[in-house]
Copies of this chain bind each other. A is one copy, B any other.
Amino acid sequence: MTAASTPKGERRRQALVEAAAQLLAEGGFEAIRHRAVAERAALPLASTTYYFNSLDELISAAVEHAAQAELEAGRRRLAELTEEHHNADSMIELMLDLLLGTRSRDGGLDQVLLRYERLVGSPRRPYLAPLMRELSARLHDLLTEILAHFGVDIGRQHLLELIMLVDGAVVNALIESDPDPRATARRVLHSRLG
Which A residues have a C-beta under 8 Å from some C-beta of B?
109, 113, 116-117, 119-124, 129, 132-133, 136, 160, 163-169, 171-172, 174-177, 179, 188
Contacts and interface: CB of A to CB of B under 8 A. Distances in A.
B175 A164 contact: no
Q: Which of A109, A164, A166, A174 has the most CB of B within 10 A?
A: A164
Q: Which 6 A-B pairs have the closest CB atoms?
A: A168-B168, A164-B168, A167-B168, A120-B120, A132-B175, A116-B120
Contacts of A169: 164, 168
A89 B188 CA distance: 27
A164 to B, nearest CB: 3
B174 A171 contact: no
A132 B173 CA distance: 12
7 contacts: A113-B124, A120-B120, A120-B171, A120-B174, A123-B179, A129-B177, A164-B168
Nearest to A165: B168
Contact of A119 (B122, B160, B175): B175
A58 to B, nearest CB: 20
Contact of A121 (B117, B164, B168, B188): B117
A123 B168 contact: no
